[in-house]
Amino acid sequence: MKFNFDCSENLEALLVETARSLDEFEGGFEPQIRQADERFGDFQANGVLPRAKKIGKNPREMAQRIIDSLPATEDWEVSLAGPGFINFKLSPDFLLRWVRAFDQPEKIAVSALGQEPKKIVIDFSSPNTAKQMHVGHIRSTIIGESLARLMIFCGHKVIRDNHLGDWGTQFGILLYAIKRENVSLDQLGEDPIAELENLYRKGTAWTKEDESSLEKARKELVELQAGNPENLELWKKIKEISMDSFDAIYEMLGVRFDFAHGESFYRDRVNQVYDSLLEHEICEENEGALVVFHPEHKRFAKQPFIIRKKDGASNYATTDLATLSYRQEEWEAEQIIYVTDGRQRDHFEQLFLTSRKWFKAEKRAIPELSHVWFGTILGEDNKAIKTRDGQPVKLADLLNEAIERASRMVIEKNPELTEDEVTRRAKVIGLGAVKYADLSQDRTLDYAFSWEKLLAMQGNTAPYLQYAVARISSIFRKMADGTTSTIEEARPPQTPHERTLARKLLFFPLALSQTRRDLKPHFLCTYLYELATDFSSFYNHDKVMVEDRPTQGLRILLCLRTKTFLCAGLEILGIETLEKM
RNA sequence: GCGGGAGUAGCUCAGCUGGAUAGAGCAACGGCCUUCUAAGCCGUAGGUCCUGGGUUCGAAUCCCAGCUCCCGCGCCA
């Protein structure tokens, strides 16, 4: 029979079709196809049990009736088990045909789409200018980039937008400090961004000390927002310095943006937001500020969404509304994904509620809005890493340390390599390790910052996956003498390790759709790790370069597909691979 | 106070949205390199899934109550 990339879809369709002719399943049947424990089979259908409960019949009898009605096939064995599970054990021949079929990433990508391509804006990274990126910025950057790659892989059109915090309150203090110290932004020395940060720190201290400094800092901000040329010039310069330092990080991480429209980009659009929301009576004046309440919501009926402060200034709620409007109007976004810290969940919930009302009033199509939030990185004592007091680890330092450690490892394993080659490999390995450490755990969980964790290279880590790829590549290098079998000669999988690996390959589409459904890259990580584990086990038990041509053919095929899937998966995670490690 | 997260092996975490005997990594212990890269493989040990009820064929997962930790809640982002 013909089969899909995701062959659980075939089984599901088959069961639905079969159930249609049986009385007990009148009114539809959801088979609930799941990956099965290997002891029982490859896939299992759990759906009979809830169905039987609903109509008060014996689940085993019902399951048996389905099994009896299934068309005969050589492709799998069906069996009844436990209280009413239906187990499918795929035949070796079927496994072989499936593994043979999906040979190109392009084929996988096409099959993985499963829906119409959409235009998706992904809003991620978004650091504040005038400060260095620290470890707290890693999550949005890494997760956002990975989701962008996932969506592109699945055939969507993606716009990456870095929504810089370049118009906030911090500029009042910074401008004040610059003027008070009388520094020239062109002469900040080797590390200008660090100097800016020092100035900011000094400024903060001063404004805390006395009222008049605070007042002066506020005034600088007002001047800036009013368009004072001197302040605007300084602001521009600060942004340039900041972008240079960000770009260095993005370069290392392999992250690119289509746009970096910061908050400042929308500063002339906030008045439209006020006007329109007032006109449609979505917002109201309250205690001098302009706010939005949502009476239908249990909490936001009382908790306001402040879109204009009582001093008349805009805030991030305003710019976020203006931004959303722009993205729909100019970019025709059909979905917007915001990748931010989980502490902003209230904000985004309010933003989404407000936007839906607003767009409805203006009779505009509202994009699908997704807040992809992640947990906080905590310091030693279980409190969030903060910029102000403690000195969080700088992102650049973390990445350099990762490369450094990987270098030592590479040199230890390959003392003969040139310095350049060591560095090249160390970057792939070290940066891969850091990215994977973040991506491989559920994004909604907080985690404590730990060098040991972020830089680990054994076990469930990127280097382990990269190592599997390198070993496969090594096999292919050794076989490049023309005497090798072709995959057309391959026999079906027989040994336990061949079978386990082939079966795991089959689950790749499930991992992809799971990852896409929840926008959680750790599902993909878990799958890739299991795939690499099954490969490593296979590698240690079944030699590829054997005399028997059908055996060799199969094993080459398994290696080829494992490599393709691992590379495709790692590419989605933003992690590079190496031919040699 | 209101709302939201979290609690699973010594440590760090998975657990496919209610399925079969709860799984990995690290750390510990014992094996495996004259054979395709030992960043690896094989094995041993390790559990009150926070506690107590409930729902049902079946609960780490769902409902209720309680304990502990974290976060958000009027002009920061």
Residue numbers in A 175-214, CB below 7 Å of strand B: none
Q: Is strand B less than 7 A from the beta carbon of A457?
A: yes
Q: Is strand B less than 7 A from the beta carbon of A478?
A: yes
Per-residue pLDDT averaged across A115-137, rounded?
A: 92
**pLDDT band at residue A386, thresholds of 50, 70 and 90?**
low
CATH class of A395-573: mainly alpha
In chain A, pLDDT over 90 holds for what percent of residues?
A: 74
Q: Is strand B less than 7 A from the beta carbon of A410?
A: yes
Q: Which nucleotide is nearest to A79 (CA to C1')?
A: B20
**What ipTM is given for this predicted complex?**
0.96
Strands (E), A93-242: 119-123, 157-161
Instruction: Quote the CA–CA distance of A92 and A510 in Å, as a whole number.
Output: 20
Q: Is strand B less than 7 A from the beta carbon of A36?
A: yes
Q: CA torsion angle for A102, A105, A110, A111 (degrees, to 10)? A: 40
Domain locations along chain A: 8-90, 119-378, 395-573
Q: Which CATH number fits domain A8-90: 3.30.1360.70, 3.30.70.141, 1.10.10.60, 3.30.479.30?
A: 3.30.1360.70
pLDDT of residue A57: 85
Other Cβ atoms closer than 10 A to A296: 8
Instruction: Quote the CA–CA distance of A22 and A68 in Å, as a whole number.
Output: 11
**pLDDT band at residue A482, thresholds of 50, 70 and 90?**
low
Report the distance from CA of residue A316 to the C1' of nucleotide B76 in Å, as an integer. 9
Q: Which nucleotide is nearest to A510 (CA to C1')?
A: B16
Whether residue A372 contacts residue A441, with contact meaning beta carbons closer than 8 Å, is answered with no
Between the two ends of chain A, the Cα-to-Cα distance in Å is 41
Instruction: Quote the CA–CA distance of A573 and A269 in Å, as a whole number.
Output: 35
What are the residues facing A341 on neighbouring strands? A374
Q: Is the CATH code 2.40.37.10 the one for domain A119-378?
A: no
pLDDT of residue A382: 76
Report the distance from CA of residue A458 to the C1' of nucleotide B25 in Å, as an integer. 8
Instruction: Identify which of A26, A30, A33, A28 has the alpha carbon closest to the alpha carbon of residue A11.
Output: A33
Structure tokens at A93: 């021949």
Structure tokens at A495: 């040994």
Instruction: Quote the CA–CA distance of A94 and A503 in Å, as a whole number.
Output: 10
Per-residue pLDDT averaged across A293-308, rounded?
A: 93
Query: A119-378: same fold as A8-90?
Result: no
**pLDDT band at residue A114, thresholds of 50, 70 and 90?**
low
Strands (E), A375-481: 377-378, 447-448
Q: Is strand B less than 7 A from the beta carbon of A310?
A: yes
Residue numbers in A 339-358, CB below 7 Å of strand B: 341-347
Q: Is strand B less than 7 A from the beta carbon of A388?
A: no
Residue of A26 and A349 predicted with greater confidence: A349
Q: Is strand B less than 7 A from the beta carbon of A58?
A: no
In chain A, pLDDT over 70 holds for what percent of residues?
A: 97
Report the distance from CA of residue A563 to the C1' of nucleotide B43 in Å, as an integer. 28
Report the distance from CA of residue A142 to the C1' of nucleotide B52 in Å, as an integer. 42
Which residue is closest, via its CA, to the C1' of B24? A460
pLDDT of residue A107: 67
**pLDDT band at residue A253, thresholds of 50, 70 and 90?**
very high
pLDDT of residue A481: 67
Residue A388 has pLDDT above 50, yes or no: no
Instruction: Quote the CA–CA distance of A572 and A277 in Å, as a whole number.
Output: 40
Instruction: Quote the CA–CA distance of A515 and A508 in Å, as a whole number.
Output: 11
Degrees, nearest 5: CA angle A190-A130-A202: 85
Residue A2 has pLDDT above 90, yes or no: no
Structure tokens at A107: 């084929």
How do residues A317-336 score in pLDDT, each as one tens digit?
Answer: 999 999 999 999 999 999 99
pLDDT of residue A389: 44
**pLDDT band at residue A104, thresholds of 50, 70 and 90?**
confident
How do residues A494-543 score in pLDDT, each as one tens digit?
Answer: 999 999 999 999 999 999 989 999 999 999 999 999 999 999 999 999 99
Degrees, nearest 5: CA angle A321-A331-A363: 60
Contacts of A557 (CB under 8 A, 6+ apart): A96, A99, A100, A487, A490
Residue A255 has pLDDT above 90, yes or no: yes
Instruction: Quote the CA–CA distance of A229 and A233 in Å, as a whole number.
Output: 6
pLDDT of residue A27: 78
Instruction: Identify which of A181, A466, A475, A161 has the alpha carbon closest to the alpha carbon of residue A337.
Output: A161
pLDDT of residue A201: 86
Instruction: Quote the CA–CA distance of A575 and A252 in Å, as a whole number.
Output: 11
Report which secondary-structure segment, H or E, holds A45.
strand A43-45
pLDDT of residue A160: 98
Q: How many CA atoms lie within 13 A of A62 on its CB side?
A: 28
* Nucleotides in chain B near protein beta carbons (<7 Å): 2-6, 12-21, 24-27, 35-42, 56-58, 69-77
| Packed helices A549-573 and A138-153: angle between N→C axes, nearest 10 degrees | 130
Which residue is closest, via its CA, to the C1' of B35? A543
- State the burial class of residue A437 (Cβ atoms within 10 Å of its Cβ: 0-12, 13-18, 19+): buried
pLDDT of residue A110: 61
Residue of A225 and A293 predicted with greater confidence: A293
In the three-class reduction of DSSP (H, G, I as helix; E, B as strand; rest coil), residue A138 is classed as helix
Instruction: Quote the CA–CA distance of A136 and A141 in Å, as a whole number.
Output: 10
Residue numbers in A 273-302, CB below 7 Å of strand B: 286-289, 291, 298-299
Instruction: Quote the CA–CA distance of A490 and A499 in Å, as a whole number.
Output: 13
Report the distance from CA of residue A538 to the C1' of nucleotide B34 in Å, as an integer. 22
Q: Is strand B less than 7 A from the beta carbon of A476?
A: no
Report the distance from CA of residue A439 to the C1' of nucleotide B16 in Å, as an integer. 18
Give, in order, the Cα–Cα distances in Å from A522 to each of A113, A123, A158, A444, A512. Answer: 19, 20, 21, 11, 11
Q: Is strand B less than 7 A from the beta carbon of A428?
A: no
Rounded to 5, what percent of chain A is helix, strand, coil? 55, 10, 35
Q: Is strand B less than 7 A from the beta carbon of A526?
A: yes
Q: How many CA atoms lie within 13 A of A365 on its CB side?
A: 12
Instruction: Name the pairing type of β-strands A368-374 and A335-341.
Output: parallel
How do residues A536-579 score in pLDDT, each as one tens digit?
Answer: 999 999 999 999 999 999 999 999 999 999 999 999 999 999 99
